[in-house]
Amino acid sequence: MRRIGLFGGTFDPPQLAHLALARCARDALQLDELRWIPTGQPWQKSRTITAAAHREAMVRLTIAGEPRFTLERCEIERGGPSMTLDTVRELQQRDGAAAWVWIMGSDQYANLHTWRGWRELLQRVTLAVAERPGVASAAHPEVAAHPHTMVPLPPLPISATDIRARVQRGESIAGLVTDAVASYIDQHHLYRSADAH
């Protein structure tokens, strides 16, 4: 059976911990395909999110040339708030039988019980979780009791929030995003104003 990894995120911008996590999950879990899924309009983030077209373009730059990575546009096309369960239902209906793996950092894992329809989600996918430095809270007991896989990612203290703040302060983001993404951010003047944080 095909093993398909799903990796959702705001990707504002896609950073090198995302890339490391995706590569690590692809290789450790022997995924035939790993789909990056940029959110349309995230429902749990209050700040102004960068236009989907920019975030999509930056994901394309990040995954270019990477074996078995693809971009999945369904949340951008759907518009409105993105619910992970709706996305999983849509993809499973479209592509049928496969071993489906949802990939996430431990911050999202600790938060999972607040997602709409999380119990159904746990029936539909296997979770693959990577430790994220600075995440103190544990998962909800019912979430933790559900079988999940750990992705053997070393701790990488990188966040998109920090990258946006660095750009706003005029600091370098070399080594935090790919060179192509750093150039894209520069060319399109992203993250320079204070309301992008």
Task: Give residues in contact with ligand ATP (CB under 6 A).
Answer: 9-12, 15, 17-18, 21, 104-105, 107-108, 130, 132, 156, 158-161
Whether the ω angle into residue 67 lies within 30 degrees of 0, i.e. cis, is: no
Nearer to ligand ATP, 18 or 35 (CB): 18
Identify which of residues 93 and 114 has a Cβ nearer to ligand ATP in the complex. 114
Shortest distance, position 44 Cβ to ligand ATP, whole Å: 10
175: left (phi over 0), alpha (psi -120 to 50) or beta: left
Measured at the alpha carbon of residue 121, what is the angle toward residues 115 and 126, in degrees to the nearest 5?
Answer: 120
Strands 148-150 and 126-130: parallel
Q: Which is nearer to ligand ATP, 69 or 97 (CB)?
A: 69
Q: Which residues pair with 149 in a beta bridge?
A: 128
Distance from C-alpha of 104 to C-alpha of 107, rounded to nearest angstrom: 8
CB 148 within 8 Å of CB 127: yes
In this complex, which beta carbon is closest to ligand ATP, that of residue 1 or of residue 195? 195
State the minimum distance, in angstroms, from the CB of residue 149 to ligand ATP.
14
Element of type H or E holding 186 = helix 179-187
Q: How far is the CB of 96 from ligand ATP (least distance, A)?
A: 25
- What DSSP assignment string belongs to 99-113? EEEEEEEHHHHHHGG
Q: Which is nearer to ligand ATP, 12 or 75 (CB)?
A: 12
The least CB distance from residue 45 to ligand ATP, in Å, is 7
Residue number of the CB atom closest to ligand ATP: 105
Name the minimum Å distance from CB 56 to ligand ATP: 13
